[in-house]
Structure 1
Amino acid sequence: MIANTSPGLGARGWGLVVSAQAVGAVGMTLLLLRLPLNRPLRQGMVGVSVMAIPLCLLGFRPETLLLATAALLGGAGIEIFGTGWRTALMEQVPPDALSRVASFDMLGSFIAIPAGTLLYGWLATAALATLLVPSVRRLRRFVDSATEPDHDLSADATDS
């Protein structure tokens, strides 16, 4: 609705914005093939928070070029989040519990989509607030992914 009623955006402009978001996600995917996320939850939460920028701009200043640029960054941020989250799940959750944890994760994610769409600005703040949790900030990648993790999180409590 905003796209159709905004003279600086329109349906064509909105198509460009959505395309820019996809380009940002694909570009970040290619970049993440080379750059590891050493702190996947920290980097993921910051990445997902970037998506608030195009959503705020859509409400305050819906202009094609500005929104497309922000959407490009937002798409990259969403990809950082997805990669960081999946990496943390695969490395930190014991294999015998992974399917259950992933199922609950997906259920919670899909249930939250309608509410999240309405509250995204506040949720971006909540995503950044998760960085206040020390275990989220300090979570690191396993050095050798071929070795099985010991899942002892108490050692992380002393890491800064």
Structure 2
Amino acid sequence: MIDPVPDPFEEVARARAAELYRSAWLLCGHRAEAEDLVQETLAKVYVRMSRRIGPPLDNPAAYAQTVLTRTFISSRRRRSSTETPYADLPGPDPGGVDHAETTELRVALVDALADLGPVDRAVVVLRHLEDRSVDEVADLLGLSPGAVRNRCMRALARMRKEVLR
């Protein structure tokens, strides 16, 4: 039997899906929104990787992270980003409880992140939770390194006030 040729997109999707979901959850703060963001990101990456026109992607993982971050920021600009779900949705999955989500510090962090604007939130997540350098974040978001440092400093100051209240 002939072995099928591995699909480059499938390899990238399998290898990066968990990390993309983690970043998406930190950006969005909600499981469903994070899943939708990852799905939209992977769809965009698939379209880009399946094109036969233009050069192939040198670093599909970095491209996927860039698409995820920019899609998040773009979605916050849309009018539909103000949609709110119904309060009477079913409870959490019965598969298991993540006790780490119930700690006070995690709740305070999520609340403080939620109060930041989309670009500031992306800067904090990429700099401190994804442990990326200032230059990487600046390149990823299309900002200058000084703007990244300034936004990060101010966003962290706002978060400290929120958490210490």
- Which structure has greater helix proportion? 1
Relative contact order, higher structure (CA 8 A, sep 6+): 1
TM above 0.5: no
Length-normalised TM-score, structure 1 = 0.31
